[in-house]
Homo-oligomer: A and B are copies of this chain.
Amino acid sequence: MPLIFREQIEEKDLPVLRQLVTATGFFTEAEIAVAVELAEDNLHKKKASDYRFLLAEEAGTLLGYTCYGHITITQSAYDLYWIVVSPECQGRGIGKQLITATENNIRKADGTRLFAETSSQPKYVSTRQFYEKSGFAQEATVRDFYAPGDNKLIYARAL
């Protein structure tokens, strides 16, 4: 079955999105709350929101999504804030398809550069590998950013 992509968050998506983010087992309660807040921002402000979404569905079930946005102080740089794929569907290339479709949307909006940030902690090794497989290169390291000993890694990709 093909993945269906759509952009606008609807009221009914909020609990489903929360469930998906929680199911990954990857995020803290505070992080889950932020994920939902960003979706609410998109729901309420629509096109005026700084947070764009791309939802990937199969037969009406949400399998994953990205949350991204133009970095306001830049001419044409975007941040990939979140990419989440349902744990039951990992390994099927859904993350890669989501990234590709997200990049296409950003290119259509004249974006030229996509950034993603993650932590140097061992917990995030799969995240880092995913970015590298998806065409991102590590652009910079900000030492002791998240906490002493926990660096921020900035990945970048030209679009």
Checking B76, B77, B142 against A139 with a beta-carbon cut-off of 8 angstroms, the contacting residue is B142
Contacts of A145 in B (CB 8 A): 71, 74, 77, 113, 115
Contacts of A143 in B (CB 8 A): 139, 156
A147 beta carbon closer than 8 Å to chain B? yes
- Do the beta carbons of B147 and A75 come within 8 Å of each other? yes
A86 beta carbon closer than 8 Å to chain B? no
Contacts of A113 in B (CB 8 A): 144-145, 148
- Do the beta carbons of B75 and A112 come within 8 Å of each other? no
Checking B73, B115, B139 against A146 with a beta-carbon cut-off of 8 angstroms, the contacting residue is B73
Complex Cα–Cα for A146 and B75 (A) = 6
Complex Cα–Cα for A156 and B152 (A) = 13
Complex Cα–Cα for A77 and B115 (A) = 21
Complex Cα–Cα for A141 and B147 (A) = 20
Contacts of A71 in B (CB 8 A): 145
Contacts of A4 in B (CB 8 A): none
Contacts of A139 in B (CB 8 A): 142-143
With A142-B154, A154-B142, A156-B142 as known contacts, state yes or no: A147 contacts B115, CB within 8 Å.
Answer: no
A140 beta carbon closer than 8 Å to chain B? yes
Query: What are the 7 closest A-B residue pairs judged by CB atoms, nearest first?
Result: A140-B140, A75-B147, A74-B146, A140-B142, A113-B144, A77-B145, A139-B142
Q: Chain A: residues with CB nearer than 8 A to chain B?
A: 71, 73-77, 112-113, 115, 139-148, 150, 154, 156, 158
